[in-house]
Each structure stands twice: as structure tokens, then as C-alpha cells.
Amino acid sequence: MVNLKINGIAVSVPEGSTILDAAKVANVKIPTLCYLKDVQKCGSCRMCLVEATGARGLVAACVYPVSEGMEVQTNTPKVRQSRKTTLELILSTHNKKCLSCARSTSCELQRLALEYNCDEDKFGSPEEYPVVDDSSVSLIRDNSKCINCTRCVAACDMQTVGAIGPIRRGFAKHIGSPFEVALADTNCVNCGQCIVACPVGALTEKSNVQQVWDAISDPTKEVVFYTAPSVRVQLGEPFGNPVGTNVEKKMVTAIKALGQNVKCFNMDVTADLTIIEEATELLSRVTTGGTIPMFTSCCPGWIKFIEHNYPEYLDNLSTCKSPQQMFGSLLKTYYCEKNNIDPANLFVVSVIPCTAKKFEVERPEMNLDTDVALTTRELAKMISEAGIDFNAIPDGEYDNPFEIATGAGAIFGATGGVMEAALRTAAVKLGGEGQPIEFSEVRGTDGVKEAEYTIGGVTVSVAVASGLGGARKIMEMIKSGEKNYTFVEVMACPGGCINGGGQPYVPDEIRNSIDVRAVRANALYTYDESLPLRQSHKSPVVDLLYKEYFGEPNSHKAHEVLHTTYTARNKFN
Amino acid sequence: MTQIPFKGTPEQEAELKAFIETKKHEPGCLMPVLQEAQRIYGYLPVEVQQMIADGLGVTLAEVYGVSTFYSQFTLSPKGKYKVNVCLGTACYVKGADKVLEAIEKKLGISAGGITPDGKFSIDTCRCVGACGLAPVVVINDDVYGKLTPDMVDDMLSHYID
């Protein structure tokens, strides 16, 4: 252990710790911008400068290692002046359209500028700002607000996608895609991890809010929403609830209050349906010598990733549509037929913690069954705009016939959840009743998790990737022949959908101090435990769907409505 | 970005790939590989940068980032005649900027660019060590000194067939 003093407070920290780590132990706050736990630590923005004995000049606390007897001062006139000037220089090129900015009040630069009493016009403003790249259907890059912290680049590299990077140098430096290609024409998978890493408003989702308002106020349209498993444990945060609060029932009430006759369904229903279809497909592949390992296909970020990087493995993907797209198709077919609605008049909105789902909606093979995919953030914005007092409204229930789902569907929102849900059902199919419900080996936020189960004489070897970095590791092990899996689950975002690119912004102070992914995932597992049904094959809604519409899993009709195809893409574009 | 189509040969590709193989396990090998690629092809177009990214197992964004960071790398091919205008202190005070302007006007391209027929490219440099002749322009191996803007037409006429 190393002993040092931060502002006179004695602390003892492990060797190799940084001053920033030690300051946390001493409960001393040091401001940061380019630093983000688990994403980037490079000491380039100079916000975290402090005075330390033994150092020449001010040092960057996020990277400077502690040493025995060191005395650190984080709040001297010199330090404060330096930070203030740094901020004012950043502000000199920042497009200060704060009032209408999506990050206003959640912007790290805005908060620091206020804390340090900055003059945003001290060094003037540029005559011209860079142009906005709005080519992507999922996200918008507005470099006029970019502060070149490169957190987005670090997030993209962590995903091993590398669609963006710093270009040129000095004053000409900016973040963009190689050869200045528009983002839509790159290998970007639309995961949105760059958006949630961005400290300012340079990266945002492409908003579909207006389209939804238009549909709600159109008397010829019937508007139906359905909410993804993880949204219930995220939506409370923008309304002041602690991370991991389950607000499902208030969420349902709020959605229905957005307009008259707005219905709200539970997407967990098609998560359950996915399990039945996918488990049937897997068992059929295993017994008939089909392509193994089979990969899950719920995550559109992963789908685009494999299409660019491992197109030779597209046959390994389950042909099941994602729960979002299954739901869209189900609504435009089964639901419309049953209720005598013209599909053209049914406006279908999915609410997801994901920006890649916006791209998925627009894939040609998806037929625009789901009209719009809204992120959790956009839904929160609509709720605020509608003047709904979120914390005060009464609890509500999902609408018939898609209201009841199982805990297996709910855990789809966390890494390992699809695998665990599949195992719950596969175990019963292979070994009969009385099988375990929980498979803890596949839980947790590690990049790669592996397990082997023998049920009813059949051994299945499974792997779970949390984040595309983990997915690439698994793919390389499969490619080299090092590993032979039966079934592989991939969620593009580290931690799964609970940490998706469309989740509410988490203030950096919270993100740097707790594992938001684990807290939200726990909330989903707690919810799962509280439900009377925890295995997808026990879902009465799924049962009804097969009885009334599909006949049996993987039937011709099921293939028509619930399955899809994939497209090989180039590595870089 | 250049509009000139990429005309790499299989020999050039083989040479670059062989070099990548010898370097790819060394840390920090991107710089020497980029330098070698530029020696082979004369510039670093997207096709060459993709070969490098593939060969080294790094992202295209990283290759592009490094190639645009250092001024020694060029993303635009050089012409048959490389016009180098010295903008060093001595040349500059003697009116090199006016000479450059005249050359750009005559060839219809800016410094860093190449004419659509691939014949001329213009670059600027800092001091070729002939300050006594300021302002100086070097075209391939020919040196022209004590230039004024009205001498530009005559100077370039030697290369316009």
C-alpha cells in the first residue's frame, strides 16, 4: 500500500493507483472530461490537473501514479485558474447552442463551466462550424459541439468496431470516419456506445419523437407501443429515481397518457416467443446435423457486426427475428387480422434502450412492420413534453392480449439473459420437469462467459459475449478451431441492453463510482424472481399464439412471420 | 481527396504485403509500413490503407488517423511533374506566396492537389537551401530561382507538351 495525503487527508491506496483513485478514497472530487471508467484513461483534456509534491508543474490526476509520502493539492488558485482557462479554451470552439441541446442539464461541459464560473465568450467563437453528419438512421454527429475528448473513439475501439477515429492534428483535428465517409456508409453498427460515452451533445440518437406525436394526433391511426425488457429499469432515472429502480407500472400509465387510445404492450411476450422458436431451431440443428454453433439474433448491433466482420458465419445465426421485429410482425398480421384493423392504419412504436434498433426497423426485409423505434431517452422526453408527472401517476397494467410474460423474457435485457432463458426451456424439453430455473454461470458483466451443461444425456457447450469486444474474442476462438460451442449469445453492448446506446444518460460521477450495468441487471433478476412464471414455454400468451395462429414452433406460418435473412457486407463499408 | 482512380499493380501489392509480414509483430510498426507503402505507391489511397489495416489487424480509422496526423504522408498521388514551391522565410519575404498563387491559377489546382490528367501536382515546402535564389520553385530535379508571378507561364511551358 502507498500512503499519501490529498488536501491534507491521509489515505492508503494500492500501489499503481492514480491520484484520481486516491482522491476517491479521500472523498475529494476532481473534475474530469476525457476520463471515463472502463472506457478511457489518457490524461489529454487537462481538466483533472492537480499539484503534487515531486512533480514539475501540474499533473493529470487520472493517469499520474501515487507515490509514498506524496502530498496532493486539488484546490489551489493555480489549479482552479488552469482548469478555468482549459474550459474557456474548449468553450471557444464549442457551439454553445445550449438551450435546445439534447444534453442541456446533463452536459458535463455545461456543469463544469458553471462550477468554474467560466466566461464562454472569453476567447470568441469560430466564424464557421463543422457540418453535421446526419446520414445514419440511428445517430447524429454534430462536430460543432465536439470537444475532441475521444471518449467516443475509445468506446468504438472497445467494441472493436473502429468506425471512427481522430483525423489530422492541431486545430484541424476532429473525430470522423476514415476518408471522411458519411457514418451511414461505414462499418458503424449503430450500437450507440459512443453516444453514452460523449460528455456533451456532439453525439445523439436520431430522434423519431415528432413522427410519434404526428401519429398520435392523427385520427385515422391507431397507435400501439411495446416496451423492451430493460426499459422498466431505466426509465425512472431521468425522473430522479435511483439507478436500478423498476418503474414498469408507472411507465405503462405514462405511455397510455401520451394520447387517447394509445395502447401499451409488453415486449417480453415476444422474448418468450423468441425462446420457443430459437430453442426449437437449435434442437433441430443439433439433431439433424445443421450448422453449429448457433448464434442468437436478437441484437441488431451484433447482426451488423457479424455481417461486416464474419460474413462467412451468417448461416450460424438463428433465423429468428429479434423480439422487436417479431412483435412488429405479430401486430401487423395476427393483431390486425383479429381486430379487423387495416395494417396501414396501425402505427407501431417500440421502446428500446438501443439505437441500433432504429437501423433494424429500416432493414428492407423487415417491411417497416414496426414503424418507429424510440429510445428510452426519447420516451422520457415525450413524457416530460406531455406534462406527465411521472412519479405521481398511478400504476398501470399492460394491454390485452400482450400483457403477460415470463421472467425468462424479462432477463433478455441483461447479458446472459437470452442464454439463461433458452436454457430454462431447453432443460425441460431435454430432461423433463424439475430442472433448475437459474443458471448463474452465464450471468455477470464479464466480456466472455462459458459454461457446459449436461441435461437428459445431451451436453451443450455455451458461450456468452457481453460487448462486441467479447464477441470478437469468441468468433476468433471459433474460427481458429480452439473452441466448439453449441450455442452462443451475443449482446453488442457491454452488460447487454441495460447498458444500451439508448439508455438514459448517467452522470459521469455516478458512472465512475458504481457499476451501473450490474445494478440495472440485478433489478431485472429481482423482477424475474418476483414473477409467477419464469420459463418461456409456460407463457399463456405464447401458448395462445401457437393455438390460434402459428400451429407449432418453426411452422411454415411461423417462418413467414417470425424469421428473417441476413446480408453479407464489406469489412469497412 | 483525389479523384484519380487507383492504379496499383499486383507487383506493388505483393511488395507491400511482404513488407507487412516482416513488420507486423513489431510494436509501433504502422509508421514504417505507411512509409514503405508511400514509397511503393507514391501516396496512400483508401485501397492501400485498407490493405495495411487488414494486414496489421488494426482498424482503418487508426491507419487513416496516423496518415493524416503526419505531414510526411500524402493521400493524393503526385503528378508526372512535381512542382515544389518553397515557402521558407527568405522565399516568402521575396513574394513566394504570389508565385504560388500564379502557379495554382495556371494549373487550376491548389497546393496539395493534382491536375485531372495526372501531369502536375503542387506542393509547398520549407527552405530548399537556395535562399540566394529566392523565391525558388523546384520541378522534379529542375530548380527555378528569382521568380516573379509573370515568369510562371514560361517556366511551366517546358512541361506542357
Nearest CA-CA partner of A58 in A70, A66, A48 = A48
Task: Spell out where A129-256 has E strands.
Answer: 132-133, 139-142, 165-167, 174-176, 203-205, 222-227
Q: What stretch of H or E contains B121?
A: strand B120-125
Q: What is the pLDDT of residue A508?
A: 87
Across the range A21-34, mean pLDDT stands at 96
**From residue A109, how far is each of A35, A83, A125, A343 by CA, in Å?**
13, 12, 16, 46
Q: How far is the C-alpha of B139 from the C-alpha of B78, rounded, in Å? A: 12
Across the range A309-329, mean pLDDT stands at 97
Q: Does residue A303 carry a pLDDT above 70?
A: yes
Query: Any idea which residue has 497546393 for its cell?
Result: B111
Nearest CA-CA partner of B90 in B130, B118, B131, B50 = B131
User: Sheet holding A203-205: strands in order across?
Assistant: A132-133, A139-142, A203-205
Taking an 8 Å cut-off on Cβ atoms, the answer to whether B63 and A178 are in contact is yes
Handedness of CA A334, A335, A340, A344 (dihedral sign): negative
Q: Given B59, B63, B65, which is nearest A166 (Cβ)?
A: B65
CA distance A172 to chain B (A): 10
Q: How confident is the model at residue A22 (pLDDT cuts 50, 70, 90)?
A: very high
DSSP 8-state symbol, A565 = -
Topology at the third CATH level for domain A209-268+325-385: Rossmann fold (3.40.50)
Query: Any idea which residue has 530535379 for its cell?
Result: B141
Q: What is the pLDDT of residue B23?
A: 95
Catalytic site residue from A365, A452, A548, A560: A365
Kindly state whether B104 is in contact with chain A, defined as any CB-CB distance less than 8 angstroms. Answer: no
Q: Does residue B65 carry a pLDDT above 80?
A: yes
CATH 3.30.70.20 occupies which residues in chain A?
99-201
What is the CATH class of A99-201?
A: alpha beta
Reported ipTM: 0.90
Q: Given B1, B50, B65, which is nearest A165 (Cβ)?
A: B65
Kindly state whether A165 is in contact with chain B, defined as any CB-CB distance less than 8 angstroms. Answer: yes
Q: How far is the C-alpha of B144 from the C-alpha of A571, rounded, in Å? A: 47
pLDDT in tens, A399-424: 999 999 999 999 999 999 999 999 99
Pick the CATH number of A280-316+407-562 from 3.40.950.10, 2.40.100.10, 3.30.110.30, 3.30.910.10: 3.40.950.10
Q: How far is the C-alpha of B114 from the C-alpha of B81, rounded, in Å? A: 10
Q: How far is the C-alpha of A488 from the C-alpha of A485, rounded, in Å? A: 7
> Beta strands A139-142 and A203-205: pairing type?
antiparallel
* A133 contacts A183 by C-beta, under 8 angstroms: yes
Beta bridge partners of residue A132, listed in sequence order: A142
Across the range A162-181, mean pLDDT stands at 96
Percentage of chain B surpassing pLDDT 90?
83
Nearest CA-CA partner of A198 in A94, A87, A103 = A103
pLDDT in tens, A290-301: 999 999 999 999
Kindly state whether A571 is in contact with chain B, defined as any CB-CB distance less than 8 angstroms. Answer: yes
Across the range A383-411, mean pLDDT stands at 96
Q: What is the pLDDT of residue B2?
A: 59
A61: its cell numbers: 490526476
What is the CATH class of A2-75?
A: alpha beta
B40 residue type, one letter = I
Kindly state whether A38 is in contact with chain B, defined as any CB-CB distance less than 8 angstroms. Answer: no
Q: How far is the C-alpha of B41 from the C-alpha of B45, rounded, in Å? A: 9
Percentage of chain A surpassing pLDDT 70?
100
Q: Does residue A75 carry a pLDDT above 70?
A: yes
Task: Spell out where A228-312 has E strands.
Answer: 263-266, 294-295
**From residue A570, how far is each of A184, A234, A304 by CA, in Å?**
13, 35, 11
> Beta strands A263-266 and A222-227: pairing type?
parallel
Taking an 8 Å cut-off on Cβ atoms, the answer to whether B62 and A571 are in contact is no
Query: Any idea which residue has 494486414 for its cell?
Result: B55
**From residue A286, how far is each of A291, A293, A458, A468 by CA, in Å?**
8, 9, 10, 26
A196: its cell numbers: 453514452
Handedness of CA A313, A314, A320, A326 (dihedral sign): positive
pLDDT in tens, B142-159: 999 999 999 999 999 999
CATH 3.40.950.10 occupies which residues in chain A?
280-316+407-562
Count of CB contacts below 8 A, A vs B?
42
Q: Catalytic: A281?
A: yes
Q: Is the peptide bond before B135 cis (omega within 30 degrees of 0)?
A: yes
Q: How far is the C-alpha of A329 from the C-alpha of A61, rounded, in Å? A: 52
Of the residues B60, B63, B74, the best mutation for testing chain A's interface (the one with the most A CB atoms within 10 Å of its CB) is B60
Query: Who wins on pLDDT, A66 or B113?
Result: A66
Catalytic site residue from A318, A350, A466, A539: A318
**From residue B7, how far is each of A2, A168, A430, B75, B116 by CA, in Å?**
60, 26, 60, 14, 14
Q: Does residue A431 carry a pLDDT above 60?
A: yes
Q: Does residue B37 carry a pLDDT above 80?
A: yes
Q: Does residue B1 carry a pLDDT above 70?
A: no
Of the residues B44, B47, B64, the best mutation for testing chain A's interface (the one with the most A CB atoms within 10 Å of its CB) is B64
Kindly state whether A166 is in contact with chain B, defined as any CB-CB distance less than 8 angstroms. Answer: yes
Nearest CA-CA partner of A66 in A27, A19, A30, A21 = A19
Task: Spell out where A269-406 has E strands.
Answer: 294-295, 346-352, 372-375
Q: How many CA atoms lie within 13 A of A427 on its CB side?
A: 18
Q: How many CA atoms lie within 13 A of A500 on its CB side?
A: 35
Q: How far is the C-alpha of A155 from the C-alpha of A402, rounded, in Å? A: 36
The total number of residues shown for chain B amounts to 161
pLDDT in tens, A216-267: 999 999 999 999 999 999 999 999 999 999 999 999 999 999 999 899 999 9
Q: How confident is the model at residue A113 (pLDDT cuts 50, 70, 90)?
A: very high
**Mean pLDDT over all residues of chain A?**
96
Q: Catalytic: A45?
A: no
Q: Catalytic: A278?
A: yes
Q: What is the pLDDT of residue A28?
A: 96
Q: Does residue A484 carry a pLDDT above 70?
A: yes
Kindly state whether A164 is in contact with chain B, defined as any CB-CB distance less than 8 angstroms. Answer: yes
Kindly state whether A157 is in contact with chain B, defined as any CB-CB distance less than 8 angstroms. Answer: yes
CATH 3.10.20.740 occupies which residues in chain A?
2-75
Taking an 8 Å cut-off on Cβ atoms, the answer to whether A168 and B68 are in contact is yes
Q: Catalytic: A5?
A: no
Q: What is the pLDDT of residue A231?
A: 98
Q: Catalytic: A34?
A: no
Across the range A543-568, mean pLDDT stands at 96
* A522 contacts A500 by C-beta, under 8 angstroms: no
Task: Give the chain B residue whose CA is nearest to the CA of A158.
Answer: B59
Q: Does residue B3 carry a pLDDT above 80?
A: no
Chain B residues in contact with A165 by the CB 8 A cut-off are 59, 61-62, 64-65
Q: Catalytic: A318?
A: yes
Q: Given A168, A177, A571, which is nearest B61 (Cβ)?
A: A177
